[in-house]
Amino acid sequence: MSRTGEAIDSGKEFVFNLRDFERVREIIYRRAGISLSDSKQEMVYSRLARRLRATGIQSFSIYLDMLEREINSPEWESFTNALTTNLTSFFREEHHFPVLAEHVKKKSGPVRIWCSASSTGEEPYSIAMTVCEAFGTLKPNVKIIATDIDTNVLATAARGVYNLDRIEKMAPEKVKKFFLRGRGSNEGTARVRPELRELISFEQLNLLDARWAIEGDFDVIFCRNVMIYFDKPTQANILRKFVPLLKPDGLLIAGHSENFVYVSDDFKLQGKTVYVLVNKSEKHTAHKTFGSMKGEL
């Protein structure tokens, strides 16, 4: 292991030492709640080296000094975008979508859904396709709010244009129903139908912000594969803020590697990474039981 002031790899274009890496970890944690592990050193170097080239800055230390000095610099957005991981696909973790369909079909009024880490749009469009099929129409009484911290991926999501290899694993009937194939200069791409796009509002939102500019009463909140980047106190704080935004019978849908059972007593597991709110009587009983157990130890 290199000492703090030594370069991680002296053969790189820019000097990047452990002190620089620790500063990046601290700054992105403060800014976005993301906890970077020791194994992310190479990823941090490669992504931020692009920002050094783009800005003409010659060292990581000067770049990080600039960020901390100029708190309103537009470079903050590029810095955050560079360190945000956006792995996604259409109907990823597909077991959630039949659950969503069954849940919304029980609703008689308007349905509201929040996709809290929309990335490049595959997840909110998958949600939109699911509700369209559940209600048998391209214009269901459904509103989907899709948010992400990364403005670059939101722009991609809003365009709704994807290379054909992104949809090749989707059932052909779904592709035919929900996509328009590109022609001419757009050959090799497909665009989501405008009816799907009209169901979704794309907005920038940082889950770490003290206040969210978003109104509640959601029937479903998707928060998949984003909490794994946060430490447990940050996860607990976000889950607390979900509570008043979710309808009493609403669903919180998490990613396959996320477990909220030991993070929050506001939610209980109802299915495979699907959570519902714990009602007040259940929570009171749980607290009483825990208290009596403590007394017996």
What are residue 223's phi and psi, to 5 degrees?
-135, 75
Roughly what angle, to the nearest 10 degrees, separates helices 75-82 and 41-55?
A: 150
Q: Are 131 and 111 in contact (CB under 8 A)?
A: yes
The rounded distance, in Å, linking the Cα atoms of 280 and 180 is 48
Catalytic sites, residue numbers: 47, 148
Nearest to 88 by CA among 116, 114, 118, 113: 118
- 96-281: CATH number: 3.40.50.150
Domains in the chain: boundaries: 18-82, 96-281
Q: Which H or E element spans position 274?
A: strand 274-277
pLDDT for residue 294 is more than 70: no
d(CA 228, CA 230): 6
Q: Are 18-82 and 96-281 equal in CATH topology?
A: no
Give residue 175's pLDDT band: very low, low, confident or very high (50, 70, 90). very high
Residue bearing the bigger pLDDT, 292 or 92: 92
Residue 16, both tokens: 């990047």
Distance, in Å, from the CA atom of 30 to the CA atom of 100, rounded to the nearest integer, reads 34
pLDDT digits (tens, 9 = 90+) for 10-42: 568 898 999 999 999 999 888 777 778 888 899
CATH of domain 18-82: 1.10.155.10
* Both tokens assigned to 228: 């794994």
Question: Do 260 and 239 contact (CB within 8 A), yes or no?
Answer: yes
Its pTM surpasses 0.85: no
Quote the pLDDT of residue 296: 37
SS3 at position 93 = coil
Cβ atoms of 41 and 20 closer than 8 Å: no
